[in-house]
Structure 1
Amino acid sequence: MTLHCGCRLVSINDKVQGAVVPTAFLYPAVGEEKLEQFGPYSLEVALDAPPADGVYPLVVISHGNSGTPWAYRQLAKHLVLAGFVVAMPAHTGNTRLDNSLAGSAANLANRPRHITLAIDAALTDPVLQAHIAGSGVAVIGHSIGGYTALAAAGGQAWSGQHERKDSNGEPAPVPVTPDARIRSLVLLNPATFWFIDGSLRSLRLPILMRTGEKDELTPIEHAHNVINGVADASLVEHKDISGAGHFAFMSKFPPEMTRPNFKPSQDPEGFDRESIQPEFFADVTAFLKRTLS
């Protein structure tokens, strides 16, 4: 049976934050795909189509600062067609439409909770719950989404220098309840500013990590923090992509958003993010199949 990409849009209530977390579920479906608009981003999906027969592992994508989950739409759809359900929460307060909590300790606490809420919502969704495997979840995180994935999985974060205005200048542990359902992580140019020595030592799970050689926002030291910080470095599969920048793992932006003064749309000179997608998508898919089987 040929799988198509279904799409279901839901609103998740975060009672702690007092906010709604808009979330898209992409899933293997039966139904005709049509080009749909999600803000400025377009993707061929079958809106509210019936799920395809079968049970599929769940993956959650955590977007970057002032971002949107739709910036990873091609990766998400690739995973759906490979047999995954993908949850894409928009981290309210740290999105392209509402970035009011950027740089705050509250944002550091909210983001991992959004991951847990998205997992809860997927596993109880009246349309999808019967089609989601209960054997474990993976989280894919880019930039501060990498922080989000690590914190949700059990890394103990501390407010950084930038956030200390929230706590009278003193560092403070970020209150996060680890989600034991998370079995593996995919980290893309992860931001690790908030993890100190020992913060990641409790993590003992498979991690696929991809970084960009020319990433100036979260350079290679952030990857080293993960490799040197987790309980077992042999569980980390890391590759540094030659010529790639911080935004290399995002989908190509629409023409009207592609301009020199919008950095997420730009690649370092001589590099094309679309050129790495076949291998990158294949690596992520194989890793998730192996770790969620």
Structure 2
Amino acid sequence: MNFSENTKQIQNKGKSFTVMLLEAEQPSCLVLFAAGRGGSPVRHLSLLRHLARKGCTIVAPYFDMLPSSTPTKEELNGRIEQLEIVLNLYSHVHQTFIGIGHSIGATLLLTLAGGKAITFTGHHIGSNSIWKFERLVLLAPSVDFFLHPGAIETVDTQIYLRNGSKDTVTPPSKALLLKETFEKQGQIEFLLDDEAGHFSYMDVLPPQIEDCQPDRSAFLSGLAEDISRFVIS
């Protein structure tokens, strides 16, 4: 299916930010993509283009890079605000909207879906609204924000959770805790990737990062196929 690809500047409260927009000719759904700490959706472009060819319209805000691996409440709420602005602009056009995120981006989407996230310093983050995502794809999410009682009880959506067995940033042990909690609610599909690390889900690796995935091309191709199956099913 054909699609157009461009960027747009979004204005809000005297500030602006950039959004990558991949518009399918006859979209079946809207996909909101949230990047991880580095903030650039370009690092996941092959996945986003694959979904656009399958008939999904993609909106993906660019974020400023988080200076620390332990972001502040203000930094996270700033990203949440951008995601909500994008949802307000585009979700009313599409009856079905789906969230896909990597690392802290996945964490923020889970927060928008009703998860009660708490930072390492004990501050609550998130929106006063709960967005009704049809499905969520969580790639190597930062789980520590949700390890308190009742953190995800109000999340009511289908979940696709993936983590690398060699991930040292968001360890698989934490992903398994999230999986077990969601299984009690009967709404999760989980895959542990044997040879993958935290950055294996990115087309373009961050500087100085070497991926432990032995065949990145085949892995990323399979990842895109699996995610599109879940999104479009």
Q: How does 1:260-279 map to 2 (within 5 A)?
A: 262-263=208-209, 266-268=210-212, 271-279=214-222
Structure 2 counterpart of 1:94: 65
Q: How does 1:159-238 map to 2 (within 5 A)?
A: 159-160=119-120, 164=121, 171-195=122-146, 196-230=148-182, 232-238=184-190
Displacement of 1:224 in angstroms is 2.2
Displacement of 1:123 in angstroms is 4.3
Displacement of 1:100 in angstroms is 8.5
Structure 2 counterpart of 1:103: 71
Residues in 1 aligned to 2:54 and 2:16: alpha-carbon distance in whole angstroms: 30
- Per the alignment, do residues 177 and 13 of structure 1 end up closer, same or farther by CA in structure 2, a change over 3 Å counting? farther
For residue 245 of structure 1, give the secondary structure of its aligned residue in structure 2. coil
Displacement of 1:94 in angstroms is 3.0
- Per the alignment, do residues 101 and 244 of structure 1 end up closer, same or farther by CA in structure 2, a change over 3 Å counting? closer
Displacement of 1:122 in angstroms is 2.4
Residue identity in the other structure for 2:99: V
For residue 214 of structure 1, give the secondary structure of its aligned residue in structure 2. coil
- Runs of 5+ in structure 2 lacking a partner? none
Displacement of 1:101 in angstroms is 10
For residue 193 of structure 1, give the secondary structure of its aligned residue in structure 2. helix
Structure 2 counterpart of 1:118: 86
Structure 2 counterpart of 1:152: 112
Structure 1 counterpart of 2:48: 76
Displacement of 1:221 in angstroms is 2.5
Q: Deviations over 1:60-100 (max 9, x none)?
A: 11101023111110000000000000001012x436xxx48
- Runs of 5+ in structure 1 lacking a partner? 29-51, 165-170
For residue 145 of structure 2, give the secondary structure of its aligned residue in structure 1. coil
2:188 is the alignment partner of 1:245: no
User: Which of 4, 8, 11 is the aligned partner of 1:10?
Assistant: 8
Residue identity in the other structure for 1:113: E
- Per the alignment, do residues 236 and 123 of structure 1 end up closer, same or farther by CA in structure 2, a change over 3 Å counting? closer
Q: Would you say the 8 A contact 1:207–1:236 is kept in 2? A: yes
Q: Would you say the 8 A contact 2:37–2:69 is kept in 1? A: no
Higher relative contact order, chain-length normalized (CA < 8 Å, sep 6+)? 2
Q: Which moved more, 1:68-77 or 1:276-285?
A: 276-285
Displacement of 1:183 in angstroms is 1.8
Q: Would you say the 8 A contact 1:113–1:177 is kept in 2? A: no
- Per the alignment, do residues 175 and 207 of structure 1 end up closer, same or farther by CA in structure 2, a change over 3 Å counting? closer
Residues in 2 aligned to 1:82 and 1:145: alpha-carbon distance in whole angstroms: 23
Displacement of 1:205 in angstroms is 1.1
Q: Would you say the 8 A contact 2:91–2:97 is kept in 1? A: no
For residue 286 of structure 1, give the secondary structure of its aligned residue in structure 2. helix
Displacement of 1:226 in angstroms is 2.0
Residues in 1 aligned to 2:97 and 2:220: alpha-carbon distance in whole angstroms: 23
Structure 1 or 2, whichever has the larger Rg, is: 1
Residues in 2 aligned to 1:238 and 1:101: alpha-carbon distance in whole angstroms: 25
Q: Would you say the 8 A contact 1:197–1:229 is kept in 2? A: no
> How many residues are treated as equivalent by the alignment?
232
Residues in 2 aligned to 1:243 and 1:100: alpha-carbon distance in whole angstroms: 27
Q: Would you say the 8 A contact 1:213–1:244 is kept in 2? A: yes
Residues in 2 aligned to 1:14 and 1:230: alpha-carbon distance in whole angstroms: 35
Q: Would you say the 8 A contact 1:69–1:88 is kept in 2? A: yes
Q: Would you say the 8 A contact 2:114–2:130 is kept in 1? A: yes
Structure 2 counterpart of 1:67: 39
